[in-house]
Amino acid sequence: MAGGIPLEPVIALVAGILILLMPKLLNYVVAIYLIVTGAVGLLRVI
């Protein structure tokens, strides 16, 4: 993504805000973050 905003920091920021606003979502936010981060990492390898 040349010249664009890096995806991981944006996802981490959104996840942190969601956890602060709704602590019950912690498990879902962490799971989604891990899945997205792993998928982005794999797509960069390909």
**Does pLDDT of 2 surpass 70?**
no
Burial 21-37 (b: 16+ CB within 10 A, else e): eeeeeeeebeeebeeee
Long-range interactions of 31-39: CB distance < 8 A, separation 24+: 36/7, 36/11, 37/8, 37/11
Mean pLDDT of the chain: 80
Is the model's pTM score more than 0.85?
A: no
Determine the structural domain holding residue 18 and report its residue range.
7-45
Residue 5 pLDDT greater than 70, yes or no: yes
User: What's the number of domains the chain is made of?
Assistant: 1
Domain contains 2: no
Which of residues 4 and 2 earns the better pLDDT score? 4
34 domain residue, yes or no:
yes
Q: Read off the pLDDT band of 3 (50, 70, 90).
A: low
